[in-house]
Structure 1
């Protein structure tokens, strides 16, 4: 089976998919950017499940590069897959942690039986990951990760993000040679 990768400019909280990936912080208790938008639009059911996760398996928070699912609340999705991206560092290569966010999110989506998944550009907001590099890592990782997901949709918030992902996608679509 082939996985289709699509790019959309818009609001990830408005997507109709099986699973929406949340660029969460390790506390799982909401925050700014994508995380805050998902919690606001999805409503209190998401936060309630996140609190239960913190009280059980993730007392110290969700580790960077890992992923866990909750209900999607009022979102037009069945689940939210929360993943914690790394903060960008010029001194330390953390690209393996960023790639892990995408691999782990797809692993969780597969366990749930999700066929359509919407991803944001993880770590590119307050975590300051350069957009072009984030796009290269994200697309390269989802292309090389075996999954039963039929459509991976990158939902990019603005022109700059969409253009960076479109460039990275077209570079990856070219035949090697």
Structure 2
């Protein structure tokens, strides 16, 4: 766990509000084949918190900043995993929106034998992350922050662009 009480390197750490996409990456590392013949490999994916805003929030919290995050998840197991992972790193998730109509953003990240990453996901419109309700943006939370971070993915589609623009005009 990260402590926000004291950090000798940064005595005045910022409070940061982050709005945007948070999701779960299912990382699949493909093995390097040792033979010229076809083989059958069983590969267990590794889950990791992800999304542009999710990764930013985790990194800032690990550096000791106070982070409040505005994002949407589905009421599924990926959403529960993501909430737990963010809270374990002291990211404030009180402004999360849980949608029963959409699923939590999750992306399969396939790392090939050369180390190149390939991303595979479902259509945007089904993701909760692009459907954060504008009326859930908290004026009070944003004005207490030193910084507001948004992501380019927040402007793609759904209701999240309106929520992001609203947060920037507070």
The structure that is helix-richer by fraction is 1
- TM-score calculated relative to the size of structure 2: 0.32
- TM-score calculated relative to the size of structure 1: 0.32
Higher alpha-carbon Rg? 2
The structure that is strand-richer by fraction is 2
